[in-house]
Amino acid sequence: MSSAAPSAEPRNKTRESLKHHGVRLTRQRQILLDLIDNSGEHLDAERLFQLAKLKDPKLNRVTVYRTLKMLKESGLVDELDLMHQAGDQHFYETRLKQEHAHIICLRCGRVEEFFGEPLQKLRRQVESHFGFQIMLARTEIGGYCAHCQALRAQEMREVAEQPALPPVRRKPL
């Protein structure tokens, strides 16, 4: 990684957009926007709150929820469920990237992104087929990544040999 802030341009785009909607750029919101734009991960409200607290220990969890709600309603972030792999919380990502599907490994929790023409094609077909005006789209695919397929096979063998152990769901790597 270079030392230059990689999100300088997108961040500005986001801030422009907010100003247009008459939204105040408070210190708290700047912190949260930075985190959402910069962290490569898919953050949930709690994780975002923990990260934000490092920069401003007085920042409240409620402010995180309110900011996320506002960003979602302004169309600046997308809300994901990631197949509820880690619970029922929601995850967030900027809408600056091209549309993509999320591929979630149900064993290790790893999330891959898939960009590909079927997504655009689906969009176009839905629009023309129903005369539908698409505002948001979300595709999530759950299953087992190449790595975990092998490990799962191994685990099944072990369970078969030791019937005393129930087939508990393993924690992420």
Contacts to a second copy by CB under 8 A: 79, 81, 83-84, 88, 101, 103, 105-106, 112, 114, 116, 118-119, 121-123, 125-126, 129-146, 149
Q: Which is nearer to a second copy, 132 or 170 (CB)?
A: 132
CA–CA dist 53, 132 (Å, integer):
41
67, interface contact from DNA, a second copy, none, CB < 5-8 Å by kind = DNA
CA–CA dist 165, 2 (Å, integer):
49
133, interface contact from DNA, a second copy, none, CB < 5-8 Å by kind = a second copy
CA–CA dist 48, 54 (Å, integer):
10
CA–CA dist 128, 18 (Å, integer):
31
Query: Is the separation of the CB atoms in 94 and 74 below 8 Å?
Result: no
Distances (CA, A) of 97 to 50, 100, 124: 25, 8, 19
Least distance from a second copy to the Cβ atom of residue 112, Å = 6
- Of the candidates 5, 27, 120, 141, which one interacts with DNA according to CB under 7 A? 27
- Contact positions vs DNA (CB under 7 A): 22-29, 44-46, 56, 58-63, 65-69, 87-90
